[in-house]
Amino acid sequence: MDLVPEDRRRGFLGVWSLFMNAGQIIGPLVVGTTADAYGFTPAFLTVTVALVTGAVIVLVLGKETVSAEP
């Protein structure tokens, strides 16, 4: 949010909200379908892979906007 120009923040929040809502709808459907078709272990592994992938993306592409200096 800090990196978005002030005149584009509304659009950014709209797109961010769209992705969040889509993830909240699609995520349980994917995990539930995986659990029904293959069992709970592959479903939990699917969630683990998604979380680790997200963490790696944030670590690699995430830019710190707060400096450590006072």
**pTM metric for this prediction:** 0.70
User: What are the extents of the domains in the chain?
Assistant: 6-61
Do the Cβ atoms of 33 and 25 come closer than 8 Å?
A: no
Which of the two residues, 3 and 56, has the higher pLDDT score? 56
How many Å apart are CA 44 and CA 34, to the nearest integer?
9
DSSP H helices, the chain, are 9-38, 40-61
pLDDT value of residue 3: 81
pLDDT value of residue 70: 62
pLDDT tens-digit series, residues 14-69:
999 999 999 999 999 999 999 999 999 999 999 999 999 999 999 999 888 777 66
